[in-house]
Amino acid sequence: NAGVTQTPKFQVLKTGQSMTLQCAQDMNHEYMSWYRQDPGMGLRLIHYSVGAGITDQGEVPNGYNVSRSTTEDFPLRLLSAAPSQTSVYFCASSYSSDGYGYTFGSGTRLTVV
Amino acid sequence: EDQVTQSPEALRLQEGESSSLNCSYTVSGLRGLFWYRQDPGKGPEFLFTLYSAGEEKEKERLKATLTKKESFLHITAPKPEDSATYLCAVQDIRMDSSYKLIFGSGTRLLVRP
Q: How far apart are CA B92 and CA B97, in angstroms?
A: 9
How close B88 comes to chain A (CA, Å)?
A: 9
What digits encode the pLDDT tens for the residues A61-111?
999 999 999 999 999 999 999 999 999 999 999 887 666 668 999 999 999
Q: Say whether A107 and B49 touch across the interface (CB within 8 A).
A: no
pLDDT value at residue B28? 84
Closest residue, chain A, to B41 (C-alpha)? A106
Q: Residue B70, exposed/middle/buried by CB under 10 A (0-12, 13-18, 19+)? A: middle
Q: Say whether A107 and B42 touch across the interface (CB within 8 A).
A: yes
Q: Is the peptide bond before B8 cis (omega within 30 degrees of 0)?
A: yes
- The CA–CA distances, whole Å, from B63 to A14, B10, B32, B36, B60 equal 45, 19, 16, 12, 8
Q: How far apart are CA B24 and CA B28, in angstroms?
A: 14
Which among A26, A27, A75 is positioned nearest to A49, based on CA atoms? A75
- The stretch A40-52 carries a mean pLDDT of 91
Residues of chain A above pLDDT 90, percent: 84
Beta bridge partners of B33: B50, B90
pLDDT value at residue A104? 94
Which residues 63-102 of chain B have a CB within 8 Å of chain A? Answer: 87, 89, 91, 97-101
What digits encode the pLDDT tens for the residues B28-59?
888 889 999 999 999 999 999 999 999 999 99
Tell me the HSE value of B72 on the side-chain side, using a 13 A CA sphere: 11
Question: Would you say how long chain A is, in residues?
Answer: 113
pLDDT value at residue B91? 86
pLDDT value at residue B96? 57
DSSP single-letter state for residue A81: -
Residue to mutate among B99, B100, B105, B108, with most A CBs inside 10 A, is B99
Q: Is residue B102 a contact partner of residue B94, using CB atoms and an 8 Å limit?
A: no
Residue B94 predicted with pLDDT over 80: no
Which residues 5-34 of chain A have a CB within 8 Å of chain B? Answer: 31, 33
Q: Which pLDDT band holds residue B97 (cuts at 50, 70, 90)?
A: low
Per DSSP bridges, beta strands B107-112 and B10-14 are: parallel
Which among B30, B42, B75, B87 is positioned nearest to A43, based on CA atoms? B87
Q: How far apart are CA B111 and CA B94, in angstroms?
A: 38
